[in-house]
Amino acid sequence: MDSIQQPSISALFVFENTINKELIRSLHVYRLKDGKEKQVEREFLFKKRGSYVEMAATPLLRLRGFQVSELFEGRVIGLWLCLFTFHADSSPTSINIPPVLLISRNPKLKSIPKLANDLQIVFQLSSRTGDQELSQFTWQAMDETNQEHCHLSQRSTHEFDQDLNSLPNSATTSEYSGSQETEECASGLSQSFLIVVLLVLITVKESYLCIVVKKKRAASEDIARIALEDLVKYFDLPILEASRNLKVGLTVLKKKCREFGIPRWPHRKIKSLDGLINELQEAGRHQQEDQAAATAVAKRRQMLEEEKESIERKPFMEIQSETKKFRQDIFKRRHKARLLKKQD
């Protein structure tokens, strides 16, 4: 008799062994045509290499006396942790589907069709129920809007069509045409339907909408007017800030630099020289008593300032090797000073 009946799944539970993660157990609850329920426990081996295998399973959950209503995600029964639950009779919520139970992410599930087919049916039922709830909510909102619209339209029409010679709410008021009420409600239905549809679309698409504002490009005449003297004014700034001040794009500014023979924006070279000049200024203040040392510092400072002016005039020039050695000596002295401070 049971073979003739076609059972439908009413609940599904999937468990994972807490010691051996490759062991998976499932509890399938089928509803027969006569209203009775049939519980089937299955056990599988989810091999990391190779296809999955179904093994002989003992009814552990039934032997322990657990009811289906007592099972939920996260519950531990002995060595088994519940990963997934589905109740057809309970109100559906957002289902948390582990990736290992998704055929799209885990194609090995096809090797155990008993579990894979029931999972597919469960997911279809869940998605279908969610769509029905959404449509039911939409139509309920439309009905409430239509009732309110019809009520307001009837009330306003009664007030305007009332005979001024009769008392308010008299028999003449109640003789309002039923066909006009139907037309008003029908027009209200169409308007409310459009309003609800628009609201739903706006709500769904709100997170995906964005406004893209294109930057206005600089005119070709303004770009052609940029001379080397204009670039020199902003050599002490990074190239991005310089492009903003010149009101041109970064690519346009690099193109102009290549036209003037500037392979690289000289901001870092000028900044390095400014740092050395400031270092010499500090050193000159501390060595005012030693005339020879003060003279050497002033001479070095003058050389650095002249080199900076040369780079501003000819930005393709590199820093002199003598200046690089001097900069390296200053770095070493700073490093030694920091180490001495840490030791103290």
CA distances from residue 74 to 58, 96, 217, 274 in whole angstroms, order as listed: 22, 12, 58, 65
pLDDT-derived band at 271, boundaries 50, 70, 90: confident
Q: Please tell me what DSSP assigns to residue 221.
A: H
pLDDT of amino acid 216: 61
267: closest CA among 242, 235, 309, 312? 235
Res. 136: pLDDT tops 70: no
pLDDT of amino acid 321: 85
Reported as a single tens digit per residue, the pLDDT across 226-269 is 888 888 888 888 999 988 888 888 888 898 888 888 888 988 88
Reported as a single tens digit per residue, the pLDDT across 90-109 is 755 556 778 888 888 888 89
pLDDT of amino acid 186: 52
27: closest CA among 58, 53, 3, 51? 58
Res. 204: pLDDT tops 90: no
Report the C-alpha gap between 69 and 90 in whole angstroms.
10
CA triple 299-303-306, angle to 5 deg: 140
pLDDT-derived band at 69, boundaries 50, 70, 90: confident
Report the C-alpha gap between 302 and 277 in whole angstroms.
9
Higher pLDDT: 280 or 29? It is: 29
pTM for the whole structure: 0.39
pLDDT of amino acid 15: 92
